[in-house]
Amino acid sequence: MIRVILPPHLRGLAHVSGEVELEVAGQPTQRSVLDALEARYPMLSGTIRDHITQQRRPFLRFFACGEDLSHEQPDAPLPDAIASGTEPLLILGAIAGG
Amino acid sequence: MSKVRVLVGTRKGAFVLTSDGKRNNWDVSGPHFAGWELYHVKGSTADPNRIFASQCSGWFGQVIQRSDDGGKTWTQPGTPPGESTTGPGGMPKGESNKFVYDDSKETGKPLTTHQWYDGTQKPWAFKRVWHLEPSLTDPDTVYAGVEDAAIFRSTDGGKSWHELAGLRGHGTGPKWQPGAGGMCLHTIIVDPKNPKRIFVAISAAGAFRTDDGGATWRPINKGLYSKYIPEPTAEVGHCVHRIALHPSRPDVLFMQKHWDVLRTDNAGDSWQKISGNLPTDFGFVIDVHAHEPETVYVVPIKSDGEHFPLDGKLRVYRSRSGGNEWEELSKGLPLRDCYVNVLRDAMAVDSLDKCGVYFGTTGGQVYASADAGDNWAPIVRDLPPVLSVEVQTLA
């Protein structure tokens, strides 16, 4: 079971209040987790990755186990702690403003 | 008893303001979609309970929302909570947020370039939906004006969108350029007497018209003079801020340009300046009285460099003669120390016997007049900056 923590705006959009739990076959990667997330919550399509390019939106970041994974390759394996469900994958909105 | 519903889009959510026909006491609901930018919220004439909303964010991109109960509850078309997340063919839903330029050989146009701020060419890239225009007759049909400038249409209630690529593919595209807010298609008007005729306006390309339901388009900017572009009378490149018409006379349109207020009496074939005695003819909004086709409203703004009212006095100007002769309307409006702006989609009228006029400000106020502009009062004072105001008159 993969655990994902969404930023508040996306929790509202997906009508969820806490963590999201997803079944992902095989070794989880950013791509497979996001595919599973969007399949279960299609209203999130296009909000984390661009519809066409599938690139991460510039103001969103991916964190896990205290590490910034935002620049990892989409098909790179996620840490074992994510795969086992010990740690959640955090999707964060960058702090931007001024 | 008649009822009025005012739909307000702001920088941090949407608000629905309702009142009976007296328009004295208002109920305020919201924020809907708190924290998101709501560029436009507009109801369907064909089914007033159906309302479309453009929700977007610099972080999370574009989302389309729809209400089928007059704004009480909302869903993304095709993906209501609790419903199956796949369609009959097993395809995932979630298409309602998807705006993809049509570059197919069959129906599309090649993805060309437009001018960028520095004069270089830049490929079209979708950013957000500025304006949603429901069909006047079919509640499932709605048009979307987007940045970078293009028009999309949905015929399934907003579930999926298809570009009418003839507009973006007009040969003048490389001469279009972004205004300060981006290269947005911000105005869509469907001719109430001829649904195949649609008018649009783009900053900064100008006004365009189709007479064949969106297949082909032509610029309608003859008579516009913009001294700040290399060719002041160019076919395209004008920063049109807003156009409006009265439903009984769709050949007569009124325009608030970057500078200048204009009108056309031949559906845009030629325009004449009608700024007349306005204290400044820069501004964003323009609208027409619901029952008097020659009565027009604008909110003059000091200049393109100073986006606030002249002398710190917020005033609406009304012409009862179709332009040129304007009267100041200020009763109930702040007449000192007021430095807000009124953005292009933030004025609307109701169609009650005494026409109501409404506008919202970047200071978060929504003002209403229940007597065609003679007297004004705020409905709300402290919303986030107002991006759009639309009104529904309900039986």
Does the beta-carbon distance from A46 to B35 stay under 8 Å? no
Whether A19 is covered by a domain: the verdict is yes
Looking at residue B86, its pLDDT comes to 59
Residue A21: pLDDT over 80: yes
Whether residues A60 and B60 touch (CB distance < 8 A) is answered with: yes
* Residues above pLDDT 90, as percent of chain B: 90
Residues in CB range of B61: below 8 A, 6 or more apart: A46, A47, A50, A57, B97, B128
Neighbours of B393 (CB within 10 A): 17
**13-72 in chain A: CB under 8 A from chain B:** 13, 15, 38-48, 50-52, 57, 59-60
Q: What is the mean pLDDT of residues B17-23?
A: 97
Model confidence at B141, pLDDT cuts 50, 70, 90, reads: very high
What pLDDT is recorded for position A97? 58
B213 φ/ψ angles, rounded to the nearest 5 degrees:
75, 15
Question: Which amino acid, B7?
Answer: L
Give the count of alpha carbons within 13 A of B282, CB side only.
Answer: 12
Segment B280-305, tens digit of pLDDT? 999 999 999 999 999 999 999 999 99
Segment A35-90, tens digit of pLDDT: 999 989 988 999 999 988 889 998 999 999 999 999 999 999 999 999 999 999 99
Any domain includes A31: yes
Secondary structure (3-state) at B73: coil
Residue span of the structural domain in which A11 resides: 2-93
Are residues B242 and B206 in contact, defined by beta-carbon separation less than 8 angstroms?
no
Q: Tell me which range, A41-45, B59-63, B106-110, B184-188, is most confidently predicted by mean pLDDT.
A: B184-188
CA–CA distances in Å: residue B289 to residues B41, B133, B142, B186, B206: 21, 19, 24, 21, 24
Provide mean pLDDT across the span B61-69: 95
Q: What is the pLDDT of residue B90?
A: 56
Is A98 within a domain?
Answer: no
Q: Report DSSP state, residue A94.
A: P
- The H or E element that residue B121 is part of is strand B121-123
Mean pLDDT (whole number) for B50-71: 95
User: Which one, of B61, B385, B40, B337, lies nearest residue B186 by Cα?
Assistant: B40
Residue among A43, A52, A94 whose CB faces B94 most closely: A43
A15 part of a folded domain: yes
Which pLDDT value is given to residue B173? 93
Contacts of B59 in chain A (CB under 8 A): 7, 9, 57, 59-60, 93-94, 96
Measured from the Cβ of residue B84, the count of other Cβ atoms closer than 10 Å reads 10
Give me the CATH number covering residue A22. Answer: 3.10.20.30
User: β-strands B128-134, B121-123: how paired?
Assistant: unpaired
Q: How far is A44 from chain B (nearest CA, A)?
A: 7
* Residue whose entry in the numeric block shows the structure tokens 């595209």: B173
- Residue-wise pLDDT tens digits, B321-355: 999 999 999 999 999 999 999 999 999 999 999 99
Read off the pLDDT of residues B216-257 as tens digits, 9 standing for 90 and up.
Answer: 999 999 999 999 888 999 999 999 999 999 999 999 999 999
Average pLDDT value over all residues in chain B: 95
Total of domains in chain A = 1
CA angle B92, B148, B209 (to 5 degrees): 105
